[in-house]
Amino acid sequence: MRATLLFLTAVLITGCATDAPDDLPAAPLAVPTVSRTQLIVNFKAGNQVFRNAHWDRFKASWRTAIEKEASSYGYSVTEQVGPITTTSTPGLLLIIKVDDFLYVSDPESDEDAWVDARVIYLDAQTAKEYGERSYNTNASSWESISAAMTNEQVQALAKRMFDEIRPPHETSPSAPPPAPAAQIATGHEQGKQQQLEQLNRERLNYEEYQKRYREIVGQ
């Protein structure tokens, strides 16, 4: 077991040369149902990312997004800080390796937020690897998501992560009804922001989220 965890640590440090391109579809992850109820996240970052002044804020945003998605399925989320370790109870361990990112906190900024990360999905008890996924919002598969504020980006990342571990026969929880038009602010930009907030509350799959997002920002 120790050798397995040491190997995983080495892979996280050196990278993985066999990652598939982001635009190619990947097979669903065969995660046992019992392991989905408890999610453990362990964030890893290289020195460049760790020294980024926005790292703590960005990491907190990602964990909040994961917790928001998890609550819809009745999953609990805890964070494992430090070395990768196994647990005595069933669960799914998500090793989130952030290679680089740009956090944009100013809505008026000319810069686009972006994230380059990968997630390794492990059995929390045995360290068995179920699979690995790359999440690069600069890739063409993310299209206009790369232009979103970082918080919206991270929520989209969390949605995509949960699409990977949700059983194939299970659909996303029902979305709440959209807000009546009269509730949308008269200001154009404020109206867009309200629609984006409403979109983030809906439990859509990644493709539908992209479609709706493009419709809103293109108004």
pLDDT of residue 115: 87
pLDDT in tens, the chain (219 residues): 554 454 455 445 444 433 433 444 456 688 888 888 899 999 999 888 989 999 999 999 999 999 999 988 888 999 999 999 999 999 999 999 999 988 776 666 667 788 899 999 999 999 999 999 998 887 666 665 666 767 888 888 899 898 888 765 555 444 444 555 444 444 556 677 777 667 666 666 666 766 776 777 665
Domain ranges of the chain: 2-14+34-173
Domain covering 2-14+34-173 in this structure, CATH number = 3.40.50
pLDDT on residue 135: 86
**Residue 18 token pair:** 């066999």
Could you give the CA distance from residue 59 to residue 79 in angstroms, rounded to a whole number? 11
Least Cα distance to 49 among 138, 131, 118, 108 occurs for 118
Q: Residue 62's pLDDT is what?
A: 93
Predicted local distance difference test score (pLDDT) of residue 216: 76
CA–CA–CA angle 74, 97, 193 (5° rounding): 60
